[in-house]
Amino acid sequence: GDCITVVSGLGAKSLNIRNESRKAVELFRGAVCDNGAPIATVGPHSSSYGVHPGRIKGIDIDDGVVGSFRVVKRHHDEY
């Protein structure tokens, strides 16, 4: 799936993820979805709170966090 970047400022230290879809969502550190393994996987119709993406070299955000996510397409899923 496509990679979507999320930037949260105003003193944010973590991200809250709410997945209202029928597919799983993976969250990654940094602005792209190829920075290693996902730091969180949120199943269909689930939520995860207080996920800490940490700091990434080359991305400087004062008082905020950055992460990226993608919807996981399984081999039996159809679009």
Count the domains in the chain: 1
Q: CA 79 to CA 63: how far, in whole Å?
A: 38
Residue 76, in any domain of the structure: no
Residue 57, in any domain of the structure: yes
Taking only the tens place, the pLDDT of each residue in 13-29 is 899 999 999 999 999 99
Taking only the tens place, the pLDDT of each residue in 41-73 is 999 999 999 998 877 666 767 778 889 999 997
Residue 35, in any domain of the structure: yes
Residue 36, in any domain of the structure: yes
Residue 77, in any domain of the structure: no
**pLDDT over 70 at 77, yes or no:** no
Q: Are 26 and 53 in contact (CB under 8 A)?
A: no
Residue 78, in any domain of the structure: no
Q: Which residues pair with 40 in a beta bridge?
A: 27
**41 lies in which domain range?**
4-71
Residue 52, in any domain of the structure: yes
